[in-house]
Chains A and B, each alone.
Chain A
Amino acid sequence: MTLAKDKVGIICCSGEDFPEGTISRVATRLVLEKLRPDETVTLCLPLFLAGGEDERAFARVFPTIAVDGCGKKCAESGTRKFSGKPVATIVVSEIMKKYPKLKAKSRERLDTEEMELAMKVAEEIAEKVDEILCKKVTK
């Protein structure tokens, strides 16, 4: 992992047991690949938790956003424990309340409706990225 200036680290839970974990993962990749490719990097949460020093160093120095599937907030608590409090936390199950028609059903492959939900989550992450980088510039 290369440390770069003005990047925001996005750490998602990727929760394996629930569809919301898959939404957190896909939303994170949508930000990285499509919405804010130049402003973001992702950190592998299991590597981070297993002692990946590059990941932990990045999260100590650069702002991070935790993306959690549910209220247990494993990505947020893991980041806080090993590096410092994330600047923002996005919880998929909370965002879903705003879009009651969009359901998370599959853990493996997202259908069109689930991809739409993932994009809604991705847009909220991207908004936070902009807020964070804007604050850095104006400081």
Chain B
Amino acid sequence: MKKHTVVVIPCSGIGKSLGTVGRVATYKVTDRLRPKETRTVCLALLTAGESEALKLVRENPCIAVDGCTAQCSKKNIEASKGNLVHSITVTDVLRENRGLKPEGVIELNAQGNKLAEIIAVTIAKKTDEILEKEK
């Protein structure tokens, strides 16, 4: 069976820190927690309809990581007919971790980093589940 790579795509929303939380969480997974099993792709490139990006999201399971309820990553993956298998919204995770106050867009504060770490662990676990099902 063909081995898939899980494609993790954050919205990278730039107006608030929650977009940065999603982006940093993604890199924690793709660069450190599951570097061999995951990768990311430029959301804007995907939305522009670039053929390689479209092929990647259609042929591999995708996880959307959105900062807010507008869920731009999820919507853009769906619009690209990507294989969306899971979606995480930072505001939902923040609701479960009310003590954390993420701040900063250029650089997250310590609490923002903590929230990103929590989300990264969730994405890594989901990645394991997705790939386990393929075995």
B68-76, B95-103, B125-133 - the one binding chain A: B68-76
Q: Which residues of the partner chain A approach B26 to less than 8 Å between Cβ atoms?
A: 16
Number of B interface residues in the complex (CB < 8 A): 32
Instruction: Report the tally of A-B residue pairs with Cβ distances under 8 A.
Output: 91
Q: Which residues of the partner chain B approach A42 to less than 8 Å between Cβ atoms?
A: 14-15
Number of A interface residues in the complex (CB < 8 A): 31
A46-54, A83-91, A124-132 - the one binding chain B: A46-54
| Beta-carbon contact of A50 and B75 below 8 Å | yes
Q: Which residues of the partner chain B approach A107 to less than 8 Å between Cβ atoms?
A: 27, 31
Q: Footprint of A on B, CB under 8 Å?
A: 9-15, 19, 23-24, 26-28, 31, 40-45, 47-48, 50, 70, 72-73, 75-76, 79, 105-107
Further pairs besides A44-B14, A50-B72, A77-B48: 11, Cβ < 8 Å: A14-B43, A14-B44, A15-B42, A15-B45, A16-B10, A16-B12, A17-B40, A46-B43, A46-B44, A72-B48, A108-B28
